[in-house]
Amino acid sequence: MSHIPKPDLLHTMRIGMYYHVQKLIFNFMKTHEWLNKSNAIWSSVLAYHDLTPKNKSYEEVSQLNGKEMKEMSWDLFGVVTQSLCGGSPAGHPLFNHAIECTRAVLELYMYARYKSHDDATLSYMEDTIRRFHTFKDVFLLGRADKKTKATANDQRTELKKKQKVDEETDAETWTQSTMQRHMNVWRDYYSHKIDVTKELDADFNLPKIHVMSH
C-alpha cells in the first residue's frame, strides 16, 4: 500500500489548488474593478512571527514557491474578505460566494494538515469540498480559455459597431444626459453578452479539483 501514488499537500493544495484559486480570485477582482484595492491590502499585510514581508503586490509576483504558498494560506482569506467589503448591494451575493469559495479551499487545507483523522474530521473535509463546489461558479468567467476569450472579443467588436450605427442614426436629437444613459445601457448589454459567451464554454475540468477528494 505504501507504494500506491497518493496526493500530497505540496502538489495537491499548495502549488496545486492555491495556484488555480489565486488566478481565479485575481481575475474576479479585475473583472469587478477591485484589483487596485486588493493589491493595496495584499501589500499592506505586516510581517509577523516567521512570515515573509510582502514587498510586492500580488499582481507583481511572478512565481511563488511551496513555503510562500503555505504562508499565503494564513493571509489569503483576510485579504479577499477585506477586498470585497463595500460596493453596491447588487454585487454582494457574488462577493459573498467568492468569499465562501475561498474559505472552503483554505479550510480543506487546514484539515488536511491534521496528523490523524476520525469520522468527524473526515466529515468536515467532505463538507468543505461540497461548499467549494456550491460556490465555485462565481469564478467561472476566469476559466474561459484563449479561444473563448477571442470569440468574446470579436463579439464585443461587433456590438460596438452596432452601437455606433445606432448613435449615428439618433444622436442628433439626444441631450447629453440621454446620450450618457444610452451609452450605459449599451455598456451593460455587451458586458452581459460577453460574460454569457465566456461562461458557456468555461468549466472546472481540472484533475486537481478531483484529487482534493482523495
pLDDT digits (tens, 9 = 90+) for 121-162: 999 999 999 999 898 888 876 565 566 666 656 666 776 666
State pTM to two decimals.
0.67
pLDDT for residue 117 is more than 80: yes
Cell matching residue 53: 514581508
Q: Evaluate whether 53 touches 47 at the Cβ level (below 8 Å).
A: yes
Encode 110-141: b = buried (16+ Cβ within 10 Å), e = exposed: ebbeeeeeeeeeeeebeebbebbeebbebbbb
Nine-digit cell string for 64: 511563488
Is pLDDT larger for residue 123 or for residue 6?
123
Residue that is written with C-alpha cell 472579443 in the block: 153
What value does the mean pLDDT of the chain take? 75
Q: What is the pLDDT of residue 85?
A: 83
CA–CA distance, 186 with 165 (Å, rounded to integer): 12
- Which of 119-133, 157-171, 183-197: highest mean pLDDT? 119-133
Closest CA to 199 of 153, 128, 130, 148: 148
**Which are the contacts of 121, defined by CB distance < 8 A and separation ≥ 6?**
111, 114
- Cβ atoms 132, 105 nearer than 8 A: yes
**196 confidence band (pLDDT: 50, 70, 90):** very low
Look at residue 165 in the predicted model and tell me its pLDDT. Answer: 67
Q: Cβ contacts of residue 70 below 8 Å, gap of 6+?
A: 14
Residue-wise pLDDT for 42-82, tens only, equals: 888 777 766 666 777 766 766 667 777 777 778 888 888 98
109 closest CA partner among 133, 64, 65, 73: 73
Highest mean pLDDT among 26-40, 137-151, 167-181: 26-40
